[in-house]
Amino acid sequence: MAAPSPTLDAATSSADPLPPYSTPYSLGRLWSALPTPYSLLPTPASLIRLDANENPFGPSPRVARALAEYPDYGFYPDYLPLRQAVARYAGVAPVQVILSNGADEMIDLLIRLFVEPGQAIVTCPPTFSMYGIFARVNRCQVLSVPRRGDFSLDVAAITATVEASDGNARILFLVSPGNPDGQAIPLNTIRELLALPLIVAVDETYIEFGGETTVPLLPDHDNLIVIRTFSKWAGLAGLRLGYALGPDRPSVGFRCRAIGMAASDGALSFCHSRESGNPPSPGLTGWLERIRAPYNVNAAAMVAAMATLEDLETVQSNVSRLTAERERLRESLAALTWIEPLPSQANFILCRLKDRTGQDVVSGLAKRGILVRGFSDPTMAEYVRIGVGRPEQNETLLTALRELGGEYVGQTTSER
């Protein structure tokens, strides 16, 4: 991967409409993209979906039972038991936990809290696209500091970009393990970046699959926020439950937009106290509590998460199965002469392709009912990201890739 220079993406204007989020293959896009006769198209149930980093083993068996037996769907949920359970799992105090409707909502909340229109966030592409999308929705700028060719962070360039922003850079978004590369950021690197004068949000969506968590850094850094989700490791992607972990003390020196909402503080504090059983924290999570929508997490997601945390042995066993399968799949991919799989500590593998584009492979696999992720970013044109499936799904994938490799023998890119 080439490493271009840092860039500035201006806030969206009416003359520059926000581009749509580039999702993995939808079924509609799949059907319209294929020349196959309709009667021969794969059905949704038969698709092998390795494009969205979902957990192929699904949730704990207790989740379905708990959802069926829960008696109080007619009432707004009480989040205190879940916050306490998440706190025990993460090793923090309940006051340091804030729940969200998926990790995406937390990203939006952080930008709305800390970044004024015209100010900026800092991202390190290639990375999760929703950071930039939410920044533009909130009329903020995006300072892009590309990663190096080996996908490591360019700390010197990040530091120079923040310093040159003259205080306008407000949040640095990092992902560890990274998306789309799956490589973890060393804690010493994150410590170095925490010395910068802005909020550092570390997205740990894939932390259960590998890497070191930044949670132990929370007591010493009032500008650190950790974003997590139940979507991947717990197999609850369809129920949308994320959370953030913040310091348990006031965040000195970091001005936020919420300071201007004192007039409505009383109503918000009452509503959120009723939900959580205690008033908001004075730290970052306290301000996030004040601006999130009341009852933003639905009862079904809450019940499913509680059942998950009560059955960690089963869920963590599935995580171990998935990481073992990841290593087996990576070895098998490496045996294909035209694919170079990168090391990964997530539940997916980024593959560099030889003498073909990612879109070639995405399309070729889609015709066989297998969905993987390609990229619109020109610097990632020769990569695909493959989620780790069940053993039998991975075998089907490998068979299809061997077929594609055979089809491409003797053909150049121009001939295709």
Percent of the chain whose predicted confidence (pLDDT) is above 70: 79
pTM of this prediction exceeds 0.85: yes
> What's the pLDDT score for residue 270?
35
Question: Regarding the domain delimited by 61-309, which CATH topology (the fold level of the hierarchy) does it fall under?
Answer: Aspartate Aminotransferase; domain 2 (3.40.640)
Using alpha carbons only, what angle is made at residue 52 by residues 46 and 56, rounded to the nearest 5 degrees?
55
Beta bridge partners of 98: 244
How far CA 173 is from CA of 15, 130, 219, 347, 372, in Å, comes to 27, 11, 19, 20, 25
pLDDT tens digits, one per residue of 239-264:
999 999 999 876 655 566 544 444 34
> Could you tell me which of 298, 299, 279 has the C-alpha nearest to residue 290?
279
- pLDDT above 80 for 280: no
**Looking at the predicted structure, is the pLDDT value of residue 408 above 90?**
no
> Residue 409 pLDDT more than 70?
no
290 in Cβ contact with 268 (< 8 Å) = yes
- How confident is residue 73, by pLDDT bands cut at 50, 70 and 90? very high
pLDDT bracket for residue 9 (50, 70, 90): low
| DSSP calls for 31-86 | HHH--S-GGGSPPGGG-EE-SS---TT-S-HHHHHHHHH---TTSPPP-HHHHHHH
262-273: average pLDDT: 41
Mean pLDDT of 384-391: 98
Those residues with Cβ within 8 angstroms of residue 74's Cβ, 6 or more apart along the chain or in another chain? none
Residue 269 pLDDT class (50, 70, 90 cuts): very low
User: What is the rounded distance in angstroms from the CA atom of residue 389 to the CA atom of residue 54?
Assistant: 9
**Extents of the domains making up the chain:** 23-52+312-407, 61-309
- The predicted pLDDT at position 283 comes to 74
CA 159 from chain center: how many Å?
24
How far is the C-alpha of 214 from the C-alpha of 225, rounded, in Å?
A: 9
Which residues are paired to 7 by β-bridges?
Answer: 144
Instruction: Please indicate whether residue 17 or residue 203 has the higher confidence score (pLDDT).
Output: 203
**Amino acid 285: pLDDT:** 86
27 falls in which pLDDT band (50, 70, 90)? low
What integer is the mean pLDDT of 218-233? 96
Q: From the centroid of its chain, how far is CA 402?
A: 30
Element holding 384 (H helix, E strand): strand 383-387
CATH fold of 23-52+312-407: Aspartate Aminotransferase, domain 1 (3.90.1150)
Query: For residue 194, what are the contacts with CB-CB under 8 A and spacing of at least 6?
Result: 200, 217, 221, 223, 224
Amino acid in the structure at residue 384: V
pLDDT band (50, 70, 90) for residue 357: very high
pLDDT per residue over 174-206, tens digit each?
Answer: 999 999 999 999 999 999 999 999 999 999 999
> Cα(2)–Cα(17) distance, rounded to whole angstroms?
28
pLDDT at 265: 44
- pLDDT at residue 25 tops 70: no
CA distance 265 to 395: 56
The helix or strand, by DSSP H or E, that contains position 339, with its residue range, turns out to be strand 339-341
Q: Which ranges of 292-390 would DSSP assign to H, the alpha helix?
A: 299-309, 312-334, 358-366
In terms of Cβ atoms closer than 10 Å to its own Cβ (0-12, 13-18, 19+), residue 341 is buried
pLDDT tier, 379 (very low <50, low <70, confident <90, very high otherwise): very high
The mean-pLDDT minimum among 75-79, 124-128, 283-287, 365-369 falls in 283-287
The pLDDT of residue 267 is above 80: no
Contact 247, 214 (CB under 8 A): no
Residue 68: count other Cβ atoms within 10 Å of its Cβ.
8
DSSP 408: H
What is residue 340's predicted lDDT score, i.e. its pLDDT?
98
Task: Name which residue leads in pLDDT, 297 or 15.
Answer: 297
CA 248-250-254 angle, to 5 degrees, is: 125
Confirm if 127 and 173 have CB atoms less than 8 A apart. yes
Q: In the prediction, which pLDDT does 264 show?
A: 40
What is each CA distance from 348 to 50, 220, 287, in whole angstroms?
8, 32, 34
Specify the pLDDT at position 14.
37
Q: What is the CA radius of gyration of the chain?
A: 22
Which tokens in the block code for residue 215?
């949670």
